[in-house]
Amino acid sequence: MCTVSWAATAEGYELFCNRDERRTRAAAQSPTVRGSRGVRFLAPTDAEAGGTWIAANEFGLTLCLLNRYTGGESQAAGEFRSRGLLLPELASLRDTAEVMRAVECGSLSQFRPFTLLALAPGAPPAAACWTGRRLLVCEEDGDPLMPLTSSSFNSNEVVRERMKFFRGMTAGHPSPAAELLTRFHHSHEPEPGPSSVCMHRPDASTVSFSRVKVSPVSIEFYYQPGPPCAGARGLSVSLQRSAGRLEASRWNRSGEAFI
């Protein structure tokens, strides 16, 4: 369960993410520098499955994954891998086109439904939706999809309320600035509860707020544990942008199936 938004800047982009989880789930590890096929990336780590819901690599590519609860199709029973394991496998890729190509070639039946967002400098946002039976890909321009949001509780109504609030808040701002999106992710409209972006339920709540800032020289990852309204002290980690193109990261040269 997450809410994700993003904004283009003069030098790159910023991405914002609230992660919602059940209160009994173990707290995630704060973001650290990790590696995948020789490529460095920043990501928090889920304490239970070892995966992640957000990752930003040295090329300026950021990935976000949301569990999908609406519009799903009947999926064959069986053992499933944690969806959070997808991002470390994709984190060595260079751009959104490579990510979409890898997902299209991947074996997705091992995962429950999800929505994957990919952002990279100088390219339109790309999104892929796995319904459990079919993969739907949007590579032309993912901005109209913003915000991406999901909820395991009363999913259709919660998504509708959050989208309605976002549209009202950003009316007159066709390209919402980072400050406006920060306020959106801290919001308790219409009241603190299941539908608010800073989410509060008896069994679940927003458990972290992430802000990724990508510029030509660096990737900055700010991470605040707990719901944004709690005002917990956050931490920042950063990576220098890589100007090189590592052979190991090239999907179309290696032909390796990452998923």
Domain regions of the chain by residue span: 2-250
pLDDT at 250: 39
CATH fold for domain 2-250: Penicillin V Acylase; Chain A (3.60.60)
pLDDT over 60 (residue 20): yes
pLDDT at 246: 42
User: Other C-beta atoms within 10 Å of 81: how many?
Assistant: 14
1-15, 39-53, 66-80: which range is least confident on average?
66-80
Q: Give the CA distances from residue 36 to residues 43, 48, 87, 258, in Å, rounded to whole numbers and listed in that order.
A: 12, 20, 10, 11
pLDDT over 70 (residue 72): no
pLDDT at 204: 95
CA distance 198 to 33: 27
Which position has the higher pLDDT, 141 or 108?
108
Q: Which pLDDT tens digit goes with each residue over 200-257?
A: 999 999 999 999 999 999 999 999 999 999 999 999 999 999 975 443 333 333 444 5
pLDDT at 245: 47
pLDDT at 76: 57
Please give the average per-residue pLDDT across 103-124, as a whole number.
94
pLDDT at 79: 82
Q: Which pLDDT tens digit goes with each residue over 74-110?
A: 555 568 899 999 999 999 999 999 999 999 999 999 9
43-57, 87-101, 171-185, 245-259: which range is least confident on average?
245-259
DSSP string, 130-196: E-SS-EEEE-S--GGGPSEE--SSSHHHHHHHHHHHHHHHTTT-SS--HHHHHHHHT---SSSSSSS
Q: Which pLDDT tens digit goes with each residue over 144-166?
A: 889 999 998 888 899 999 999 99
H or E element in which residue 13 lies = strand 13-22
